[in-house]
Amino acid sequence: MKKLLSLKKHEYLLLTISFLIATVLVVFSLKELKSFNIKTVETSLVTVNKSSHEALKQWVRFRQNTIKGLSKNNFLVQNTSEILLLEQDSASLISSPITSDLREFFQPILSTNEDLGVFLIAPNYVSVFSMRNANTGSLNLMAKENKYLLDKVLLDGETVLIPPIKSDVALDSKYSDEKWHTMFLVTPIINQGNIIAAFSIRLDTKKDFSRILELGRIGETGESYGFNRFGKTVTTSRFEEQLNHTEDLEDVKADSSKSGFTHDLELCKGYALNEIKDQRGKDVYEVCIWDDELNIGITTKIDRAEALKGYLFMRNILIFIILALFTVGFIMINIIINLRQNKENVLVSVKNDLEITVKERTKELQHTIKTKDKFFSILAHDLRSPFSGLLVLLDLLLKNPEHFSETEKTNMLQEIHNSSSQLYKLLENLLSWSRSQTEAIVLNPENVSVWDLIDVNYSLQTQNAKSKKIALINEIGKDLFVFADRNSIDTVFRNLISNAIKFTNPGGTVKIKSSPNNKMVKVFVQDNGVGIPKENLSKIFKIEEKISTKGTNDENGTGLGLALCKEFIELNGGKIYVENNTTIGTVFTVELPNVG
């Protein structure tokens, strides 16, 4: 203490100035670190929101195309025309044999898609047909809740999505306990150029609609959910799940001045980052966008505490360090002066640690975003090719139904049902796989039958091969097994077989065969197609070199399939390579660990 009191004035001044400069630098560094962290959060939320939004739009477009095609069915158009001629009272409509025929017609369609019901709505908004007697002959629920959307169908001939609303009857869903929550997809039925009625399918809100947006859940508090034009949440929300487990739930619900159960549409102006206080009283970051086509808004949010967790931790550490330095500095000034150089080294070390921490956080975030992007690429790529076979059959049935006998139609419908079931299982696998993703792709290696994998994909691709008159040959033995992750390897063979069919000329051959040895199993996917141009051979397995080439029937691709195949094969401890000849075709060879 004596040395402290004996310091000269200029030394006190120098010491004071040094501490002030250090404080300013720390404050500036914290400000910049926070700004960087917030910008990173904004980028992540916007990316997740756009990805979730696009996935939802793709699902809605698929369902719209399905209902549009069904609305043109001659049987449906004819029976709709006839039922509109009946007295529009419940008794007359229910007792009509047309109602029985229509219910028999719709039952397998609803079972296949796991939808909850059907309405045929007259221009005066009366439900002239329903799968339930209670709904028949009464003013349709959509006319009560969303008449302006129903008018778009009946007056403008549009196909629209009716966002979730309160149901008029209790529903039976295996995906949700919310029996009074419903939504519809509605399209016009046109006869001789005139809109005669609206045809709607009642969708299960929790089956795909909510589960697609659940892919936008990030971290422990982040989520993506949809809301209607009144700001009411219409999909699954972590936020509401937390409120439902809050002891003071009634008090929280009573505070309608806060956002939570309702959403402020004024915040949905572009992808600007908003900081608000939610109904739990917690600060959150969010971005949102309103979609006029879907008639819903999509918001992605995360608790501010979790978003700034890294920054807050570093801020507390720095504040503690500064306070400690001030305290120790004024108590033991003589020691600090003698160890000034050591102090500078410590500060440099702390700065380096901060830079390393920031780089690690940035790398983790980039990896997370890349993983999600890869998933959506897989989803889009793996579903597109099998659907083409379904569309071929549906096109034949819709355009030329009179050219087929009832037996042929039944066989074709059975093929459609089988393919749809396989595609549904594929989608379920992909969605389950995506929910297992956190910061890395987790593989679950097991003993896998190569014949089973090839047989499943053989069935998926059979219709595509038939449409091009290509012989698809499976020569894999049933006793051949590999030790690998089933889902990722399934994706590999699906891509390779699909590509072989796509680049083989009509009348060609695609053959799958194998050659096991002690340590590795070789599986060959061989075609006699057009081959691969030499300039593309060095690029086809690189994800940064996106090459998309049209097939022999102008089939489109994403350019990501082979790159994903290489990654999955290498993650499973195997290899993939190609033997190419532009005159006799291509052979892709996959090597995977033998179970022995």
Task: Give pLDDT tens digits for 115-141.
Answer: 889 999 999 999 999 998 988 999 998
- pLDDT at residue 178 tops 70: no
Same domain for 113 and 136, yes or no, is yes
- pLDDT at residue 342 tops 70: no
- pLDDT at residue 4 tops 60: no
Q: Report the phi/psi class of residue 571: left, alpha or beta, with left for phi > 0 and alpha for psi in -120 to 50.
A: alpha
Given this model, what pLDDT does residue 128 score? 94
- The number of beta carbons lying within 10 Å of the beta carbon of residue 244 is 8
Domain contains 360: yes
Same domain for 425 and 561, yes or no, is yes
Domain contains 137: yes
- Please name the residues in contact with 328: beta carbons below 8 A apart, sequence gap of 6 or more: 336
- pLDDT at residue 260 tops 50: no
Given this model, what pLDDT does residue 200 score? 95
User: Average pLDDT of 508-529?
Assistant: 88
Same domain for 337 and 482, yes or no, is no
Given this model, what pLDDT does residue 591 score? 93
Domain contains 232: no
Last residue of a domain, which of 346, 366, 386?
366
Given this model, what pLDDT does residue 405 score? 86
**CA-angle at 416, arms to 66 and 101, nearest 5°:** 70
441: domain CATH number is 3.30.565.10
Q: Give the C-alpha distances (Å, rounded to integers) separating 141 from 97, 197, 229.
A: 24, 15, 17
Mean pLDDT of the chain: 80
Same domain for 184 and 327, yes or no, is no
Same domain for 480 and 465, yes or no, is yes
- pLDDT at residue 500 tops 70: yes
Given this model, what pLDDT does residue 565 score? 83
Q: Which residues pair with 278 in a beta bridge?
A: 259
Q: Which residues pair with 194 in a beta bridge?
A: 191
Given this model, what pLDDT does residue 7 score? 58
Given this model, what pLDDT does residue 380 score? 60
Given this model, what pLDDT does residue 246 score? 52
Given this model, what pLDDT does residue 478 score? 87
Q: Report the phi/psi class of residue 284: left, alpha or beta, with left for phi > 0 and alpha for psi in -120 to 50.
A: beta
- pLDDT at residue 552 tops 70: no
- Please name the residues in contact with 163: beta carbons below 8 A apart, sequence gap of 6 or more: 146, 183, 226, 228, 229, 234, 294, 295, 296
- H/E element holding 427? helix 406-435
Given this model, what pLDDT does residue 18 score? 77
User: Average pLDDT of 382-390?
Assistant: 67
Same domain for 454 and 352, yes or no, is no
Domain contains 190: yes
User: Average pLDDT of 70-89?
Assistant: 93
- pLDDT at residue 102 tops 90: yes
Both tokens assigned to 450:
């190569």
Question: If pLDDT is split at 50, 70 and 90, which confidence band does 439 have?
Answer: very low
Same domain for 421 and 477, yes or no, is yes
Domain contains 348: yes
Q: In total, how many domains does the chain have?
A: 3
Domain contains 163: yes
Same domain for 99 and 124, yes or no, is yes
Same domain for 189 and 109, yes or no, is yes
Given this model, what pLDDT does residue 377 score? 63
Question: If pLDDT is split at 50, 70 and 90, which confidence band does 146 have?
Answer: confident
Domain contains 267: no
Tell me what percent of the residues of the chain surpass a pLDDT of 90: 22
Q: Which residue has the higher pLDDT, 334 or 61?
A: 61
**Lowest-confidence segment of 158-167, 420-429, 531-540 by average pLDDT:** 420-429
Same domain for 355 and 416, yes or no, is no
Last residue of a domain, which of 366, 382, 413?
366
Residue 89 sits in which domain range? 72-208
Question: If pLDDT is split at 50, 70 and 90, which confidence band does 145 have?
Answer: confident
Question: If pLDDT is split at 50, 70 and 90, which confidence band does 431 have?
Answer: low
User: Average pLDDT of 514-521?
Assistant: 83
- The number of beta carbons lying within 10 Å of the beta carbon of residue 159 is 20
Same domain for 466 and 495, yes or no, is yes
159: domain CATH number is 3.30.450.20
Same domain for 359 and 402, yes or no, is no
Q: Burial level of 506, CB count in 10 A (0-12/13-18/19+)?
A: exposed
How far apart are the C-alpha atoms of 421 and 461, rounded to whole Å? 14
> Across 187-196, 270-279, 389-398, which has the greatest mean pLDDT?
187-196
Given this model, what pLDDT does residue 375 score? 53
- pLDDT at residue 84 tops 90: yes
Given this model, what pLDDT does residue 245 score? 55
Q: SS3 of 473, please?
A: strand
> Across 236-245, 310-319, 502-511, which has the greatest mean pLDDT?
502-511
Domain contains 274: no
Last residue of a domain, which of 335, 350, 366?
366
Digit-coded pLDDT (tens) for 537-551: 777 877 555 566 666
- Please name the residues in contact with 330: beta carbons below 8 A apart, sequence gap of 6 or more: 4
pTM, to two decimals? 0.47
User: Average pLDDT of 212-219?
Assistant: 82
Both tokens assigned to 586:
């291509």
